[in-house]
Chain A
Amino acid sequence: MIDSKHVILVVEDEPSILDAIVIKLTRKGFVVLEAKNGQEGLDIALQKHPDLILLDIIMPIMDGLTVIKKLKEDEWGKTVPVLLLTNLSDSESISESAKVDRSDFLIKSDWTLEEVTTKINQKLNII
């Protein structure tokens, strides 16, 4: 269990995936915020300043890449760690355009919940 309560924002439009991640992270001791589209995610992020954002790319209203672009217009938003969730095959060019590290790109068909949690811990330097 994590001692300090890190806050994770999960932005994902697929209800079953959102629910699964929220439950898993809550059980692991994180405080979890959730949003079902990019606009909602951006609003919550700028308001609540979570420690990390788990962000889907393909979403209604505002997609993940636009969210990243708008986050980078904010002083805080430039520094917040972001992990991207996607099923897109062309992840290399997308990570380049999003200026996101290739290793922060999680393909949904490859990553299990436990692995996502481990990745979050690594990103936040939690042992």
Chain B
Amino acid sequence: MKNIIEIRHLTKKFGEIVAVNDLSFSVKEGELFAFLGINGAGKSTTINILCKQLAKDAGEVLIDGISQDVDSAITKRELGVVFQNSVLDMSLTVLENLESRAALYGLFDKDCKDRIEELARLLDFSELLRRPVGKLSGGQRRRIDIARALLHHPKILILDEPTTGLDPQTRSLLWRVISDLRKSEQMTVFLTTHYMEETTDADHIVILDSGRIVAEGTPLSLKNAYTGDFVTLYGVSEEAVKALGFPYTSHPGGYRLMLPSTGSATALIIAHPELFVDYEITKGNMDDVFLAATGKSLGEERGK
């Protein structure tokens, strides 16, 4: 698969602050790419440069093989963006919003009408077309945001924390639609999120900290590289757990030990059978990867 996005040695400074520091990575066509980092890590700056909303200080950005510096009108046509907060016009109806945005891509009259109808069926908002966007619920509005981003059949869909604040049902619907689109249209999805479980299906993950890449790979390779196994022991005393000599945290009804590998977990069970009466072994999750790679927790970000 070819690279649909290539970022080479990208740098952006705001005064003395280096927001993005010599960043290089690529995104393959059709993949779900997750771009992670706490607030201020440089994610939004990178996305803004990618969308040509912000000028870069150094480096190069290629979309589908074309440098943004050569022709941003072409590269912009390849992008559909769902912003963190809805940027639609609250006083206008859904239809008026979509028609005005479709015009920006040269979609008018029948072409425009057909595409809006198609998206309304796909995202299940046909009954909302005549309602003002300001009167919609958060979930309904998000569906319209995604429809707006998809109006012109973009090759790349940029989702900037698309499901923040949404109910589980709407999140599930959005992910189903996005997943279908990826399959049917070979669409590349560039995702930033604070929900680590949304990255488990990603083909490639980049974790950013202070404007630099601190980890990248598939979810499995990152888990193998950054986390071990977790053994949760129930009905034991803290003294007994402490005596095992592994880092642990308190867990409802017991304690959670962090072990470097499955092998060391097995050895521990064999060595201390009296403690392993009620226990479970799990692999580390993406939250653990993030914590290990950055030393920071995304849980704090979600709370903000």
A and B found bound together: no
Interface of A with B (CB < 8 Å)? Answer: none
